Structure 1
């Protein structure tokens, strides 16, 4: 069995995955479909001062399916609501390379259970501190550590510039 990429209606990836699995069971081709994957991650965003966890799809408009491809299974898959087509040249399904699949699956596993902050900060950008002992202070981003999801902000305390390390959720872009 090989992995194939399917073009689906954007924003409906999970519904299409569920439909594909359900209809495969009912249509008796479940033995030809081994796995259906929608690579995604949990992203934490600040909305109205509150943390909101949102599931973000890595490849909007695409899902991955591990299946045995023949005329019958291809026809079956392409006629499921929400599926546009297989990805490949001249509308011919092309199996994904093993290295591509391992990279994608590796990204999914590395993100498993970890929440990523959706906000990006840049060096020199003005920010406002919204949490912690320096709440309501403003300053400039001096350093960004995306891996730890922290920023170092220069704030003015008693007339002196002081670097403070804060988590992404403790600061917001200054308006």
Structure 2
């Protein structure tokens, strides 16, 4: 008798419907045609943008148009437990049933397949571990701020001691999430360093 195994697979989703699709799968998984699906993953990260002079939180998907499902393959009896082909046929049968079940749900296209044979291949566990590690890492952070500025661009300071001053971006320190801005203070040009969230476009 073979052991229980778990593998992750990529599922194609209609654009921008990943979260809704995840909810549909979670409602149905563990029963019927989706009884072998035991987990669903939509990797996301939080980031901030500046809108109308305000710092606004938003969320984006790592892989737009896709999500990941974990399939748990039960043990099965075999005259030859080392027969790789028999094990593969067993897994493909389960995947086929899951594929039919997924396609019945709204916004879901089905498993990502490869080649003319439309083979459903699992994601390498090392890749899933990397994705999960990245999600855990970001969950401990305040989020990433996108760089909505370019060098030479006119900006206005909206926070701090130089609030309401205007200037031009001299340098972008992306890793530190800061800008160097040239402003005129008391008639003299000075370069000051500011956080992304302290400025907005003119």
Same fold, TM-score > 0.5, yes or no: yes
Q: CA RMSD of the aligned region, Å? A: 2.1
1:47 aligned to 2:51? yes
- Structure 2 gap segments, 5+ residues each: 1-5, 73-90
Report the alpha carbon displacement of residue 28 of structure 1 after superposing the two structures with TM.
7.2
Deviates more, 1:18-27 or 1:4-13: 18-27
1:57 aligned to 2:84? no
Greater than 4 Å deviation, 4+ residue runs: none
Instruction: Report the counterpart of residue 83 of structure 2 in structure 1.
Output: none
Instruction: Report the counterpart of residue 104 of structure 2 in structure 1.
Output: 79
Distance in 2 (alpha carbons) for counterparts of 1:21 and 1:67: 13
Instruction: Report the counterpart of residue 160 of structure 2 in structure 1.
Output: 132
Report the alpha carbon displacement of residue 46 of structure 1 after superposing the two structures with TM.
2.8
Q: Is the 8 A contact 2:37 2:69 kept in 1?
A: yes
Report the alpha carbon displacement of residue 94 of structure 1 after superposing the two structures with TM.
1.8
Instruction: Report the counterpart of residue 12 of structure 2 in structure 1.
Output: 7
Distance verdict in 2 for CA 1:29–1:84, change over 3 Å: closer
Instruction: Report the counterpart of residue 176 of structure 2 in structure 1.
Output: 148
Distance in 1 (alpha carbons) for counterparts of 2:136 and 2:38: 18
Distance verdict in 2 for CA 1:100–1:16, change over 3 Å: same
Structure showing the higher strand proportion among its residues? 1
Report the alpha carbon displacement of residue 29 of structure 1 after superposing the two structures with TM.
4.2
Report the alpha carbon displacement of residue 8 of structure 1 after superposing the two structures with TM.
0.4
Q: Is the 8 A contact 2:33 2:101 kept in 1?
A: no
- Structure 1 gap segments, 5+ residues each: none
Distance in 1 (alpha carbons) for counterparts of 2:30 and 2:125: 27
Structure 1 or 2, whichever has the larger Rg, is: 2
TM-score normalised to structure 1 length: 0.85
TM-score normalised to structure 2 length: 0.75
Distance in 2 (alpha carbons) for counterparts of 1:46 and 1:144: 15
Report the alpha carbon displacement of residue 124 of structure 1 after superposing the two structures with TM.
2.9
What number of residue pairs does the alignment pair up?
173
Give per-residue Cα distances to partners, 1:80-127, cap 9 Å, x unaligned.
221112112143222112332233222212211422223432333322
Distance in 1 (alpha carbons) for counterparts of 2:20 and 2:192: 44
